[in-house]
Structures are given as C-alpha cells and as structure tokens.
Chains A and B, each alone.
Chain A
Amino acid sequence: MTLQTSVTVNVSNSYSSINTATQGSVHRNHRYRTTFEQLVEAVARYQIDNQPSDDLQETHFTISLTGEESQFTRFNQAKVRQSGHVRDAQIKLTLISCHRVPAQDDSDSDNEVHQDGRTASTTIPFTGDFDVDWPLTQSALTRLQQELPLLPVDPYIVLPLSAEADNIQRRQTQTVLSGHLLNESDIANALLKPVHTLDFSGFYAGGLSYRAYADSAGKRHWFETPSFTLDYSLFGGRAQEAVKGTFAGVRWQQTAYEKSIEAAAKQLTLLTRPVKALPRGSYRTYLAPAAVADIIDIIVWGGGLGEAALRQGNSAFGKLEKGEGTLSEQFSLGEDFQRTSLPRFNSSGEIAPARLSLIEGGRWKNSLVSGRSAKEYGKPSNGANEEEAMRAPTVAPGTLKEKDILNELGTGLYISNLHYLNWSDLTAGRITGMTRYACFWVEEGEIVAPIENLRFDDDLYRFLGEGLIGLTDQQTFIPAVSTYDRRSLGGMWVPGMLIDQFRYTL
C-alpha cells in the first residue's frame, strides 16, 4: 500500500533540445529574445566605445535575464480566493574592471594575471521593448562605470572566460522547451469541478519562464520553458485531517489530475480514524519522498554544501568533509540536470556538469564550487551558482520495495510530509521541524491511527548515518513549487527513507 500523494506528469528532460513548435495555449513572447539580443549587442558596443585608453586596463560585462508570464490562481474551500496574471522580467548587468598584467612569455596568455579587480552590478526592469529597455540600461551602465573606480579592490573577481580559454564550457546554448498549459479562462473549471464536493485548498502557478545569459567574452545562453505547478491539500473535518499533493509538468493532463485527486481523497478516509497522541521519544519512522524532500531542501538551502560555507565554518558538512563524521553507505546525494527542466548555466555563464556527486556511499565527494570560490580557494569551478546551493538534487534509491514499506516499518510512524524545518545547530548537523498532513501510527505493518503532529529534532549524522535503515528502490520527483520572486523551475528526485529511532521532542 502506498500513501504517497505527489504526482508529476510530463517532466521534460530534453536539455538542449530546440523546439519551436506551437505551444498549445502558451503564447510565446518572441520579442523578449529579440530585445535581449539587441540589448546585448548595444551593451557590447557601449563597452567598446568606453574602453579605457590604457591598453592594460579592461572592462568586462555580464548580463543575466530572468522573466516570466505567470498565471496565479489560489483556492480555498474548493473556491477561488484570488486569481491574477503577472508579467515581470529583469536583467542583471555586471561590470568588472581590472588591470591586466601580461605573462612573461607572450605566448602564455593563460597565465596572465589580473589585478585591481572591481565588480559592480545593477538589476533593472526588462520589458521586452528595446526603446524602453535601452535607455534604462544605458543609464545603468553609466552609473556602474562611474562607481567602479570608487570601489575597493576585490581579489576574487570572476572574469567571463572566453570559450577558447575554458575548454569545458560551451560558448552558446539554447533550450526552448514545448508544452501545453491550461488556458487562463479554463483553470477554475478544470481544477474545481473534480473537487467541488471536497474541502480543497491549493495554488496553481503556470506560464512561460525565461532565463538568459550573455557576456563580453561571447558566451550566449537562452532557456525558456512553459511549466505549471499545482500544490494542493484536501482537508477532512479536523484541523490535522489533511492530505497534500503536488502535480506539475509542462503539459496539463486532466485525466491524470483527476486520478491524483481520487487517490488523495481515498487516503483522506484513513485520517478519519481517532487521532493518537504520542509521547515524545524515539520512534522507528518511514519518511515518504515528500518528507525526504523537505529534509533535502533545507540541506540544499543552508546546509553548507558549497566550498565557501565549508571554508568559512558555516556548514553542517564540515565533519563529513574532514572525515570526522560519516553517513550511511546507503546515502548518496548529487546533482542530475538530465532529469529535470532547468537551465544548466549559472550567473557567470558557466555550464554545470550534467551530473555531480556530492556525497557518495556516505562519504564526501565534491563541494559545489562557484567561480568566486574557485578564485578564493584554488579549486576548479563546477558551475555552481553564486549561493553554491544545489539546483537539481537527487538522492540515490535503495532496495526497499514499495510493497514492503509498512512491513519493514513494523511498529512506528509513517510520515508523509514535514513542515517548517530549520537548523537547531547547523555545524553539528541538527535539524528540527514538525510532522504535517497524513502521518500515521503503524503497528506490526498495519496503519492504526493518524497522529497528533510531533516536533522532531535529530542529528543528520545519526539519522542519515547509523539510523538509516533503508531507502526505497524507486525515486519520486518532487517539484519545486516556491514562487518567491518568481516561479521555481525543476525539483528533486528522492526515494522514501526508513529510519531507526527518529527523535521526537515535543
């Protein structure tokens, strides 16, 4: 029996595919790309016209674009609470100045040294109308040019590398993914008719997303994709009687959506049993993939998997990296861009490897290294973003069959989701958080009762170490549904996890 309610449809993994087919209901804004290219050319001309007279003084630029056309519809009690559309885009323009010190040997250009580096950036709106965007960009360039000499020297500037200088980088990439999303006028009907008898609450976010990069070294990257996410909950009569589901992809499929709702509604019936209040203590626990994703999410965003965090004493993985702590050999964590629809280029135009292992068989393998950390700590960059946070996480599966989950759990807790995780002690690797939604007390392989929510507080070196009993043999895709600043893209692939003596404290 499975209690998993995360369903994902049509997640494209066609990185670097080029598809110009009509997008169903998605209206592609071709002006965005044309205008971006025009802006890049105009900035390049500006840069040439404004190069310092000193031949050894250089100014470089990078431009990143993020943009989206988004439909947002919020539901409560199977009704529409708010519905709207957002059209938003911005470019981040960075100027880098430095003084080039020629190599002793003229033929050895790779060993040129750059001194007195300074970096300044500005983010401005991008409307897709060159006549509006260029004056704003020009004004931003002037301001940055004036500001650069006033800034202190930055010893760790990241210069855009030419394709020739960086043989692992591709000079130009484009990814244009296709899909079919619901028409805006159809969303309420399509989503609410199947749930009109249920207490349905949720949020649909969908539309086109754009990401692009260009620099003075000639790199050009373009990524655009339609996508949608539906993050929903079904509620029963009691406050904690609820099931969570997610549904995401690039192509809306009504039948699959309705099946997802049917499955969730069936699971809701299990929650009508009398609630069991458990005393604090340690319990054998099965974390379903969505709950595992909650733990991986906090590890990804603040756990300190990057080189900078490790070197600066700001990481939960310092002990693992130094060999002072170990995790279970069953636990492997890495990035896999081949299984999710994300741009692989970062804000410096570097292309991340398709796959990168961070923790393998419980042992430290690689940190995430941005261009800046590469300079500061003398390690090669692996295309990490500025924050050195994972973008396409995947936790390797194990051998536990889905049909055996409850039997292997025996007596303990089945946890579908977690909530509000935080580091209770970052450098010790201790995480706290709450259980949420469909969580059950299980006895001898049988679901007995839903539980009152519990707080956990446990050390990852314990629960991902000797406490890790097993991982399911199948991974589930958990979509990224966050919409802070913009709609997230991608998600993570994770298995379920069986843990011995998971610690609950309140």
Chain B
Amino acid sequence: MIGHLTAALEQIDIPADWIGIRAMQEVSSWRAMRDGYPQQNDHGLSQGAMVEVLAAGQFGYSATNQLTFESLRKAAQQAYNQAITTSQWAIYRFTQAVRPPVKGSYISPCVNTFDGMGVGEINDLLRQLCKHLKVSTAVVRTSAIARTHNVDTWFVSSNGSQIHQKLAMVESHLGAIAQAPGVTQSRTDNGYLARSYQGGWERFTEDDLWERATRIGQQAVALLEAPDCPDESTTLVLAPDQMMLQIHESVGHPLELDRILGDERNYAGGSFVKPKDFGSLVYGSKLMNITFDTGLEGELASYEFDDTGTPSERAYLIRDGILQRGLGGLESQRRLNVPGVACTRACSWNRPAIDRMANINLEPGETEFESMISSIESGVYMESNRSWSIDDQRQKFQFGCEYARKIENGQLTTLLKNPNYRSTTPKFWSSLAQVGDGKTFKVYGTPYCGKGEPNQLIRVGHASPVCAFEDIEIFGGAA
C-alpha cells in the first residue's frame, strides 16, 4: 500500500506546499449474545483515504472511499481548493514543520489471531458466558459481547514520510441486570466495553473469564438487597475501573490544547486550564503523577506515530501534582506555545486529525490495597462506572458507580447500591491521599471518546491503581 500511495502522490499535480495521504483499512467483527440467543453476528470493512493539503498556510482535506490514482488525485485537488478558498480566513498560518518527515512502523501485540477461532466457537463461548451470568431467576437480562478489529494505517507525504501501523484490538463486555419488586440493578465487567485492549483473542479468553461472569451475576443479584449509598462527605476509595473514567473526564479532557484554544468551545466545551498554567498549576496532591504513554503493551491507544506522523514519546502530563504539559499535537503546540505530545488523531480515514487523548495513565504509588483499606476508619469503596456528567469547563462533575462497599474501622463491610459522588476537579485531585501500588494497577480502555466537529469517537486507554480521596461528597438513590 505504501508503494501505491507513494505512486499516487507522485501523480498529483497541484501547487501545494505539502501533501499527505493517510489511508486506512479496518476489518471488524461484532458478536453479541443476549440471554443465550444471538443478537449480532456482523462483519465490517471500512477503507478509504484522507488527503490533506497545505497551501497558503492553510490545511484543506478531502476524504474518499476509493483508492484509485484518479480518486486520490481528485481528492487532492479538492483539498487544495478547500485550503485556498479558506486561507484568507485561516486561524493560523501553518508550515510543513507541523508535518515532520518520518519513516517507521508499529505492530500491536497479538498472540492468538482473530481467524484462529471459528464463528461457531465464538458464539458458543458467548452463550456459555450468558449461562454463567444468569446465576438465578432474579437475573432478567444477560449479555456477552466480543468485538475484534484489525486496523492498518498507511501514511505518506510529499516531504518523505512513510509510516505503516498495524493494530489488532479486542473489545468485550459482560453484563447482568437483576430485578426484584421495585428495584433493578445492573453489573458489568468493569463498565461497558471497559475491557478493550490491543491484542488477539488472548485478551478475551483470560483465565478468570468464567469466574468474572459468575461474579457479575452474583453481584447484580446481591445489590438488589443492598441499602442505598449514604449521603455524606467521607473518604472515597476508587477502583481502577472507575479511576479510568475519573482520569478521562477530569484530567484528559481539560488538558486538551484544542479545548484551551477554543476550537472545541462550540461542541464539547473549553477548559478551566489556562495557557499560563503549564509548569505551575497545582492540579492535585503530590501523589498525582499522570503520564501520556503510548508504549504500554496491550493498552488500547498504543502507537509509535500519531495521525500526522509525529513520533510519540512517553511524557508526564502532571508530575508530583504540578501540571507539566498538555494533550496537543504540533499544530496546537505552535498556536499556543506550550509543550504537548504526539496525539493528533483521527477515528478513521473519513475524519480530520485533532487533539485527542491516547493512553493517559495514573502512575502507581506504594500503598498496598489491604493497608489502604485498613488505614480508613470510615469511608466507601466504589467500582465500575455507570453514570458520568461534567461541565463544559471540566470542573463540576457527578459520577455514579455500579457497586460499592462501606469501609468501617479498616474493613470492607456492607454492600451498597446506587453509589454516586460529586466534586470539582482541582478540589477533588487535591484530596488524593493514597495511591495504590503496582499490584493494584489495572489497564482498561474505551472505544467511545466523543469529540470534534465533525464528531469522532476514538479509542483511548487508561490505567490506574486504586486511589483514596478524602472528604468527598457521596450520595445514593436520591439527589
């Protein structure tokens, strides 16, 4: 494909300063079972190319699902016209410097390839999982989902870039809904599709799969009898599967440079973070260390290059509680004159690359889980996100979880249903009092981070240890 795109590039005859072609092919399968019956057995092929042109200091783009020379040539002409006709209104005069020439490749880990398991076998596995989830008649709905994706991206440019990245990904879900008169409770496998990874079937058929399915069903039923989470301010311990959401919404999004620049104001919103804050803002307690790390093996948004060809390196976004750098690629870094990372990404060939999260992780501390719980006289432990909402400046949030336990005198005690908490971002992270050690560190991801105009859903990864926050407002069934 690199040869085809390079030859196509050579045939494009427009007076542009720079031309890039990003072609992509995604082969997917979606298998879903509900209550032991097939809900979905779908395949998907998506392929096409985004041609991007820099002329008169302005980028223009055109995307097509035909990869012929003629189609790519037409797309380049159209992209050039877009750049020229809007250049007088350009928000910034870009140069080739934001598209560095790079050659390289990346292949995600994959042990058991997707064609190694037959469709009958996959469906049987999902059906068996539904059986494990239905631990009693109180379980009124079970679901098991397995999705696979093989994604190839090729990038060539007029200044010599040649990149091929090849990703294999698995996204899975297990869920049970239980009902008793007047009460319904739901439990999932760390949140909807939270088990999304780079890799092959080995990331789905893990040793504890059956045990997890049974536990999900049992916990959904147990929650029916549980009291509501109390309304109080207390010590809140969050499991890594809720930390994923907490990091995503209250660290990842506010650090996106395009939000700070105002590009996103009309849709997802802005940020309370100001350009002058980089290097000085106390974002959280000294225990807070957040990294951008596209090199953590198996995490969903791992790569070597972003979608503009910028090589990616691990970097601290927040170190010892102090804001270091933002989530923005070379375009935003130039416009804002602040440090960023290689995170200009597109969800597919038919969308332009913008500032996105990739793998954003909270680095582990030194506290063992048992000693963290034993140090808390009174508090609540919560797992698995079920509800999330935050304001357009990423300050006032309210998050809900599926499952909670009381912490009393250093012990996990009563099961609690409908646990929620609310706070504001800087206050919350400043209350970070304990960070779990490496044994509590878990990796999750989501295929559904929404942003951008045109809208894009992109895959991101988040890893975190268990964390404890002091004096947080929690509440249960009623607001």
Contact = CB atoms under 8 A, between A and B. Distances in A.
Interface of A: 70, 72-90, 118-127, 129, 132, 136, 140, 143, 147, 150-152, 154-156, 184-185, 188, 192, 201-203, 205, 231-233, 235, 239-240, 242, 244, 312-314, 318, 419-425, 427-428, 430, 432-434, 436, 453, 455, 457-459, 482-484, 487, 503, 505-506
B392 A436 contact: yes
Interface in B448-462: 450, 453-457
Nearest to B65: A125
B38 A119 contact: yes
A82 B91 CA distance: 9
Interface of B: 34, 37-38, 40-48, 58-66, 75, 78-79, 81-83, 85-86, 88-91, 118-120, 123-124, 127, 140-141, 177, 179, 184, 186, 261-263, 265-267, 269-270, 350-352, 354, 387-393, 396, 398, 400, 418, 420, 422, 424, 450, 453-457, 477-479
Nearest to B450: A484
A422 to B, nearest CB: 5
Given A152-B123, A152-B124, A188-B85, A422 B388 contact: yes
Contacts of A184: 81-82, 85
Contacts of A459: 478-479
B266 A457 contact: no
A231 B267 CA distance: 9
B47 A424 contact: no
A352 B8 CA distance: 46
Contacts of A244: 266
Nearest to A421: B389
A205 B455 CA distance: 11
B263 A81 contact: yes
A312 B396 CA distance: 33
Contacts of B269: 419, 436
Given A82-B59, A121-B41, A203-B266, A239 B393 contact: yes
Contact of B263 (A72, A74, A78, A86): A74
Contacts of A427: 184
A125 B47 contact: yes
14 contacts: A74-B453, A82-B354, A84-B60, A85-B79, A122-B43, A151-B123, A201-B266, A232-B266, A233-B266, A419-B269, A433-B389, A453-B392, A455-B398, A503-B479
Nearest to A319: B182
Contacts, number: 240
A62 to B, nearest CB: 13
A205 B422 CA distance: 36
A458 B398 CA distance: 13
Given A143-B43, A152-B38, A83 B86 contact: yes
B141 A314 contact: yes
B357 to A, nearest CB: 17
B392 A420 contact: yes
A27 to B, nearest CB: 12
B86 A188 contact: yes
A205 B179 CA distance: 44
